[in-house]
Amino acid sequence: MFVALEPRRLYRQVAEQIRMLIDTGELPAGAKLPAERELSDRFGVSRPTVREALIVLEVEGYLQIRMGSGVYVSHKPRASNALEPGEDSDGPFEILQARLLIESGIAEEAARRATPESMARINEILERMERSLDNPQVALACDRAFHTAIADIIGNSALNRFTGLIYDKRMTPYFTKLASYFEGPHTWRLALEEHKIIRDAIAAGNPAAAREAMRLHLTLAQKRFSESFGEEPSRDD
C-alpha cells in the first residue's frame, strides 16, 4: 500500500501518497493511520519527514491529529482546500536546519563586534520575552527580535534582512500548525534560557562559545518539534 520514496522534497511525496490513498477510498474516513515509526519504515524516510507530511494533510483537511491517540482520516475536503499540484514550500525541519547553519556563524561574528548598545537592546528583548511566556504571539515576536538583533550587530543590512526572511518562513500554515502541538510556556521558557546563554557568550566576546550556543539552541528547537504526536511513546529516531 505504501511505496518507498526517492530523496526529493520527501514530505511532499509522502503527503501525496497518503492523499491519493484517501481520495481513492483505500484509506476511508475515520480510519486510523499506522504509527509514525511504522509509516517512517514503510516509506523509508525519517519520522520528522512523516510528521511534516501529516501536518500538511491536516492543514488541507484530510487528516485529524489527536494528541495521545493517533492520526485519523477526516471526511474528504473540498478540492479548494488542497494545494495546487505545483505548489511547494520549505518544510519546518528544513527551515530549522538552515537557520542552524547560518545563524551559528552570525552569532560567532556578533561576538566579535558586540557593543554595550547592542547588548542593551538584546537584554531589553529578553526581558520583554520573559514577561510574555504565556502569550505565544508576543513570545514569538520577541524570539524573532532576538535573532534579528544578533544579526544587526554585524551591521550588514543584507544579512539582517536574510535572517528575518528565513525566520518568517516559520509563519507558514504548516509550521504554525506544527508549533500549535509542541509550543507553550514551557518550551518558550527553555528557549529563553538558551537565548540567555547565547547573549552571555556574545557579551563576553567569545566567538566559539556564541557559535556553539546558537547551534545548540536551534538543535534543541528541532528536538522539541520532533516529539511524537502519535499514540506510541516518544523515542529517539
pLDDT tens-digit profile of 180-223?
Answer: 888 899 999 999 999 999 999 999 999 999 999 999 999 999 88
Q: Are residues 136 and 208 in the same domain?
A: yes
Domain membership flag for residue 231 = no
Which DSSP string do the residues of 157-205 spell out, in sequence order? HHHHHHHHHHHHGGGSHHHHHHHHHH-SHHHHHHHHHHHHHHHHHHHTT
Q: Give the residue numbers spanning the domain of 172.
A: 92-224
Number of domains in the chain: 2
- Give the model's confidence band at 172: pLDDT under 50 very low, under 70 low, under 90 confident, else very high: confident
- What CATH number is attached to the domain comprising 145? 1.20.120.530
One-letter amino acid at 58 equals: E
Domain membership flag for residue 98 = yes
Q: Are residues 77 and 160 in the same domain?
A: no
Q: Are residues 146 and 58 in the same domain?
A: no
Q: Are residues 164 and 214 in the same domain?
A: yes
Q: Are residues 140 and 73 in the same domain?
A: no
Model confidence, pTM? 0.76
Structural domain ending residue among the three candidates 81, 111, 132: 81
Q: Are residues 128 and 53 in the same domain?
A: no
Domain membership flag for residue 3 = no
Domain membership flag for residue 237 = no
Q: Are residues 107 and 218 in the same domain?
A: yes
Structural domain ending residue among the three candidates 81, 103, 137: 81
Structural domain ending residue among the three candidates 51, 81, 111: 81
Domain membership flag for residue 87 = no
Q: Is 184 exposed, middle or buried (0-12, 13-18, 19+ CB in 10 A)?
A: middle
**Digit-coded pLDDT (tens) for 38-77:** 999 999 998 888 888 898 899 889 999 888 788 999 976 6
Helix axes 10-23, 36-43, angle to 10 degrees: 100
Q: Are residues 73 and 146 in the same domain?
A: no
